Amino acid sequence: MIHSNRDEMLLAELPSAAPKNILRMRYLDVSLCILIVFATLFSSSVMAQSPYLYEDFKQGQVHFKSGDLISEYFNYNGVTDEMVFQSDGKRLALDDLDKVNQVVVGDHIFVPFEGRFFEKSGSSGFGPFIRYKYRLIEPGKPSGYGGESHTTASTSFSSLADSKMLYDLKLPDEYRIVKTHEFYLLVDGVLHKVNNKKQLKKVFPDKSKGILDFIKDENIDFSKIEDMNRLAEFIEK
């Protein structure tokens, strides 16, 4: 569970732009920090070569809790778990997330919870909130019987990070990324993971029968964003 002090995100336009130095920008030098990439796969996984959510950087705004606003071009890096933006020809990671209310990229809204971003989907106050989880697969190594063995390794990850290739829009051909996502609902200021019926029943024990009936009748697919939007709206009624 991920806790928040606010039940609702402020999604309205905020006041005028602030000086850019309000951002504590840090260059994407992660050579001293080897990130561990988790190997959990979901039915919604997709193979790709880009570590980013979008094909290119999109115009967006950072909305601060202070009411200030900054406009840049953004993209979400699912491998490094960072909101990246382009400024003066450099790619930078958004830092000091405790000061950020939300990041609006096109018509998508991202909100920070405990150091990582979740996309707010649907019209329900519950969400759903989407966490994107990308797994890097290093180049195949020779294995028995003439095959190849593909693994996720921190050494491969660190090597790419050192060269800053993890921030390119496309990785070298020998690398692959498995793109997955998880769903959460915001209830009483807490984000609860809801990727299956069992998790939903724990969050809403008093409403579980009606929710399970709705899932069955409407053939809800826990891997589809549109279906999870409908489910959240039904629960909120």
Q: Is 185 a residue whose pLDDT tops 90?
A: yes
| Tens digit of each residue's pLDDT (9 = 90 or more) over 85-95 | 998 888 999 99
The pTM score is: 0.73
Cα separation, 154 vs 142, whole angstroms: 19
Task: Tell me if 131 sits within 8 A of 181, measured CB to CB.
Answer: yes
**Structural domain spans, the chain:** 2-134+176-236
What pLDDT, on a 0 to 100 scale, did the predictor assign at position 156? 54
pLDDT interval class at 34 (50, 70, 90): very low
Q: What is the pLDDT of residues 111-164, one digit of tens each?
A: 999 889 999 999 999 999 999 999 888 776 543 444 455 544 444 555 665 557
Q: What is the pLDDT of residue 237?
A: 87
